[in-house]
Amino acid sequence: MRNWSREGLPLVLVMIVSGFIVWISGLIFEGGYLPNRLNRDVQYYGATVLEVQDEDLGPDNYTEEFIVGIQEIRVKLTDGPYEGNEYTFKNHISRLYNTIVKPGTNIIVGAYLDEGEILDLTVSSYKRHHVLVLLGVIFCALVTWIGKFKGVKSLVSLFFTGICVIFLMLPLMLGGMHPVLAALIIVVLSTLVTLWLVAGLNKKSLTAILGTLAGVLIATLIAYIFSDLAHLSGGTMQDTEALLYVSETSKLQVKGLLLASILIASLGAVMDVAMSISSSMFELVSVNSKLTMKELIQSGMNVGTDMIGTMTNTLILALAGGSLTTAILIYSATISEMQLINLDVLGTELVQGLAGSIGIVITVPITVLIAAYMYKKI
C-alpha cells in the first residue's frame, strides 16, 4: 500500500490535473469559432466503397509518379444521419487529391447538403484513424514493456504535456496572452511534472529542472535578440496568412509565435541533456563521495561535451525534417546566393535551429555547476 502511494499517487494527481486543464480550456477560450467559408454546406461522413463501376486512370504526364484520372464509384455511408444509404458519384483524382479507391476501401466523403438532402459527394480522404491508433498502441506497449513502471510514468508525462499544449497553451494564445508567456507556462509545467515523475523530488530532479529552464530561457533570449537584429518578426512563417485570418477574429498575437515555437521545440532536447548530466553526476557522487568539487565539475563537463554533438544534431535535423519541403523549393529555385542567404523563411529557420542549439550547449555548463553545488555543498 505504501509503495502504491509513493509511486502511483503522483500519476493519479497528474491525471486529475490534466482533466482539470481540459475542463477550464473552454472557459479560457472556446475553439471552433471560425466559420469554414469554403465548406459551410458540407458535412463529412465515413463510407465504404461497394463498387468501382468505371475508371479512366493513367500516369501523370509530367512526372509519371502519380496516377491521375477519374473513377465512378458506389459507396455506402457508415455513420451520420444518412447511415446505410448508397450513392454513386465520380471520384476525381489529381496529383494533389490522390485518393484512389477499390471495393472495400474505407474513406471519408464530403456531402454537399441543401435543405437536409445530399446533392453531391466527393472523396475527402482515406479513413486512417484506426492505423494511427494502432501505431499509438504499439508505441505505448513498447514503452511500458521496456521501461516498466518508469515507462508508464513517461507516458503519463507525455500525455500531460500534450494536454497542456492543446488545452492550455493554445487557448491562452487565442485568448490574448502573449505567445512567449503562454509557451513559458507550458515549459515550466511540463518540466516540473516530467522530471518529478521520472526522478522524484530530490536533488537530481531539482538540478535537471533548473538546468532545463535556464537552457530554454537562454535559447529564447538569443532568438529574441538575433531575430530583432535580423528584422525577423515571425510574419513569414508557414501558414502565416491563415494565422492572420485567425487573429482577425481572436486576440492571437502572430509576431510572438516565432519565439514561442523555439521555447517548445528546444524543451525536449534541453531537458534530455539536463537530466542526463544531473543523473550522471549523481551516480559519480554515489560511487565516490570523496570527489572534489573540481573533479566533479570536470567529470560532468566530460559527460556534457560528449552529448553536445548528438543533441545539437537532433534539434537541427528535427527542424530540417519539418522544413524539408521548403528546403527543396528554395534549392530548386534559380536565385542568387545573396538573395538566398537573406530570405526571410531561411533566416527564420536558422534562428530557430541555432538558438535552440545554443540553448542545448549552454545547458551543459549550467547544469554541471548546479549539480556540483547541489551534491557537494548542500
Taking only Cα atoms into account, the Rg of the chain, rounded to an integer number of angstroms, comes to: 26
> What's the Cα-to-Cα distance from 293 to each of 108, 203, 275, rounded to whole Å?
63, 16, 19
pLDDT value of residue 234: 61
What is the amino acid identity at position 122? T
Cβ–Cβ < 8 Å for 291, 285: yes
Task: Record the pTM.
Answer: 0.82
- Strand, coil or helix: what is 77? strand
Question: What is the amino acid identity at position 76?
Answer: K
For residue 54, the surrounding DSSP H or E stretch is: strand 42-59
- Residue 202, classed as helix, strand or coil, is coil
User: Side chain identity at 330, as an amino acid letter?
Assistant: I
Parallel, antiparallel or unpaired: strands 86-93 and 67-77? antiparallel
CA distances in angstroms from 38 to 32, 34, 35, 99, 108, listed in the order given: 15, 12, 9, 20, 18
Sequential pLDDT tens for the chain (378 residues): 445 556 778 888 999 999 999 998 888 877 655 555 445 578 899 999 999 998 888 888 777 778 888 999 999 999 888 899 999 999 998 888 888 999 999 999 988 888 778 888 899 899 998 899 999 999 999 999 998 888 888 899 999 999 999 999 999 988 888 888 999 999 999 999 998 888 888 888 899 999 999 999 998 888 888 888 887 766 555 567 777 777 777 788 887 887 888 888 888 888 888 998 998 888 888 888 788 888 888 888 888 888 887 777 776 777 677 677 777 777 777 777 777 777 777 777 788 788 888 888 899 999 999 988 888 766
CA angle 207, 212, 215 (to 5 degrees): 125
CA dihedral 327→331→337→338, nearest 10 degrees, is -40
Phi, psi of 93 (to 5 degrees): -115, 120
Strand spans (E) along 78-132: 86-93, 106-114, 117-126
What pLDDT score does 38 carry?
46
- Residue-wise pLDDT tens digits, 311-359: 777 767 776 776 777 777 777 777 777 777 777 777 777 887 888 888 8
Residue among 86, 76, 19 nearest 46 (CA): 76
Residue 293 grid coordinates: 568539487
* Helix (H) or strand (E) run with residue 52 in it: strand 42-59
pLDDT score recorded for residue 231: 79
